[in-house]
């Protein structure tokens, strides 16, 4: 993946990153009374949000069940990444990835720079929304 965005002046934001986590992800586990894996991941991230300066939002079904748990990570003027194969057991590695994402001008963190447990977690990357001054007429 190229480390460029589809528009200029990217990566200049001081806004905190945002995780959106599918709270209905079961990671292929059967329906039962146990807490849903996606909800556990959301709760684990929520417990670290203030200390690590990010926000986390719940989402019901991100339609990528075969790759659950699913989350996205985004910041204004950076690529948004759709992440899969996550779970609460990967919390510390996910927080390390968050810091690399935050430090990157465009949000791109190459697989060789990610914690080993997250080397193949990227499902897709999406361009950030265009600002009002960049919108096409």
18-126: in CATH 3.40.30.10: yes
pLDDT tens string 34-86: 778 899 999 999 999 999 999 999 999 999 888 889 999 999 989 999 999 99
Residue 58, phi then psi, degrees to nearest 5? -80, 145
What is the residue extent of each domain of the chain? Answer: 18-126
| Predicted pLDDT at 5 | 40
pLDDT tens string 76-112: 989 999 999 999 999 999 999 999 999 999 999 999 9
Q: Are 130 and 35 in contact (CB under 8 A)?
A: no
**DSSP state at residue 16:** P
Closest among 115, 105, 113, 88 to 19, alpha carbons compared: 88
Q: Global pTM?
A: 0.79
* 3-state class (DSSP) for residue 73: strand
């Amino acid at each position: 993946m190229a480390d460029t965005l589809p528009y200029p002046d990217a990566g200049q934001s001081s806004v905190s990153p945002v995780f959106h986590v599918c709270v209905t992800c079961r990671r292929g586990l059967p329906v039962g009374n146990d807490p849903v894996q996606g909800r556990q991941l959301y709760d684990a991230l929520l417990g670290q949000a203030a200390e690590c300066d990010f926000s986390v939002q719940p989402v019901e079904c991100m339609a990528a069940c075969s790759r659950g748990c699913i989350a996205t990570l985004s910041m204004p003027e950076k690529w948004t990444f759709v992440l899969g194969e996550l779970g609460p057991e990967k919390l510390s590695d996910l927080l390390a990835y968050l810091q690399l994402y935050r430090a990157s001008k465009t949000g791109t963190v190459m697989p060789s720079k990610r914690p080993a447990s997250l080397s193949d977690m990227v499902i897709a990357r999406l361009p950030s929304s265009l600002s009002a001054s960049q919108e096409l007429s």
